[in-house]
């Protein structure tokens, strides 16, 4: 079995590793995660490996991106299994800070974002992107990587982080990774383990409906009509829809008849589990 990666639990320890690599002129990629790792995360680590000599995977369930009524306390934590998986893909270092290390007593700083952060997730999780922006910018400043990898699975997050890195002149490249899926199309997610067998069988309806909508739009159907059909199909399967929307793929602005690349994005509840997915047209 491959050797488990080293673990750094403090900013100081992380910086020591990175400093040694920099001294040897080695490039560094960071893959931020909340753990409960699956093949989607592994794909990002492998992509990171192809970009940089050294790969850091952070595992931190970030309290500031959960609202009080959300699943922070029940979010799956599988640290030992995560380490074993990261050994297989030869990650160099796992950075696993405690909440107190990330948010020292008296923490008082925030980041406010507009643009791609507006609407979609923000309409239903208003705290979410400020939590993501602060934790991701802290991870960037702690690690100072050359590359940071983010999955298209969380497409709005990818766009928000890319925008933030550009706006703040952060000296790193945001690298997107494709969405890893189950055979039936369900996007891999740490939250899929909340689904009971019946819900698991229903869940691919989101991807299926988005695929059908993309197909219809390519064939000339108006996006609004195609998305209404997708929304109806997802609801009829018993999910509670938060949003099913067509947006400009880069700015995430509503289409309003304007041209440009289109991204279809959806979020819906299956029982007590919230699932999100998206595809390009
Ligand atoms: P998370 O641990 O869910 O916060 O995700 C950490 C990173 O993995 C984020 O950049 C996600 O977009 C990415 N990710 C999560 N699920 C997938 C997936 N199915 N395919 C590709 N990337 C993913």
The pTM of the whole model exceeds 0.95: yes
Atom of ligand 1 nearest to the CA of 157: 12
Range of the domain at 267: 190-280
3-state secondary structure 144-184: CCCEEEEEHHHHHHHHHHHHHHHHCCCCCEEEEECCCECCC
Please tell me if the CB atom of residue 277 comes closer than 6 angstroms to any atom of ligand 1: no
Answer yes or no: is 111 within a domain: yes
Together in a domain, 113 and 236: no
Dump strand ranges (E) for the chain.
6-8, 28-33, 54-59, 93-95, 147-151, 173-177, 240-248, 262-270, 273-280
How many domains would you assign to the chain? 2
Q: Confirm if 266 and 206 have CB atoms less than 8 A apart.
A: yes
One domain for residues 47 and 72: yes
Query: Same domain for 125 and 27?
Result: yes
Query: Does residue 185 lie in a domain region?
Result: no
For the stretch 129-186, pLDDT in tens is: 999 999 999 999 999 999 999 999 999 999 999 999 999 999 999 999 999 999 999 9
Q: Are residues 76 and 142 in the same domain?
A: yes
Cα(46) to centroid(ligand 1), Å: 13
Residue 147 lies in a domain: yes
| Structural tokens at position 221 | 């159907």
| Ligand 1 contact, 122 CB (< 6 A) | no
202 shares its domain with 87: no
Domain final residue, candidates 129, 150, 177: 177
Q: If you average pLDDT over residues 64-76, what whole number do you get?
A: 94
Going from the Cα of 187 to the center of ligand 1, the distance in angstroms, rounded, reads 10
The candidate with the shortest Cα–Cα distance to 11, out of 153, 201, 140, is 140
Give the CATH number for residue 106.
3.40.50.620
Q: Is residue 184 part of a domain?
A: no
189 CA closest ligand 1 atom index:
16
In a domain, 227, yes or no: yes
What mean pLDDT do residues 252-271 have?
Answer: 94
182 part of a folded domain: no
CA of 76 to the centre of ligand 1 (A): 14
192 lines ligand 1 (CB under 6 A): no
Residues 50, 21 share a domain: yes
Enter the tokens of residue 53.
Answer: 């000599």
> Does pLDDT of 1 surpass 80?
no
pLDDT digits (tens, 9 = 90+) for 223-245: 999 999 999 999 999 999 999 99
In a domain, 231, yes or no: yes
Query: Could you say which of 177, 207, 237 is where a domain stops?
Result: 177
């Amino acid at each position: 079995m491959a050797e488990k990666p080293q673990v750094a639990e403090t900013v100081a320890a992380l910086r020591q590793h990175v400093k040694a690599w920099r001294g040897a002129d080695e490039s560094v990629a960071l893959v931020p995660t909340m753990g409960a790792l699956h093949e989607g995360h592994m794909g990002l680590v492998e992509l990171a490996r192809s970009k940089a000599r050294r790969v850091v995977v952070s595992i931190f369930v970030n309290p500031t991106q959960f609202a009080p009524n959300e699943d922070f306390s029940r979010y799956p934590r599988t640290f030992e299994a995560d380490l074993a998986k990261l050994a297989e893909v030869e990650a160099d270092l796992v950075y696993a800070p405690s909440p107190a290390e990330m948010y020292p007593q008296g923490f008082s700083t925030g980041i406010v974002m507009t643009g791609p952060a507006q609407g979609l997730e923000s309409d239903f999780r208003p705290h979410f992107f400020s939590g993501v922006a602060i934790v991701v910018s802290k991870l960037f400043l702690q690690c100072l990587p050359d590359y940071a990898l983010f999955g298209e699975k969380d497409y709005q997050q990818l766009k928000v982080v890319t925008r933030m890195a550009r706006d703040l002149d952060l000296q790193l490249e945001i690298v997107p990774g494709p969405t890893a899926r189950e055979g039936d199309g369900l996007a891999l997610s740490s939250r899929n383990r909340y689904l009971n067998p019946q819900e698991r069988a229903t869940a691919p309806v989101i991807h299926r409906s988005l695929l059908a909508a993309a197909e219809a739009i390519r064939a000339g159907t108006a996006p609004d009509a195609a998305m209404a059909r997708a929304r109806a199909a997802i609801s009829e399967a018993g999910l509670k829809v938060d949003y099913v929307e067509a947006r400009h793929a880069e700015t995430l602005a509503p289409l309003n008849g304007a041209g440009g690349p289109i991204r279809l994005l959806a979020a819906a509840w299956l029982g007590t589990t919230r699932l999100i997915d998206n595809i390009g047209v």
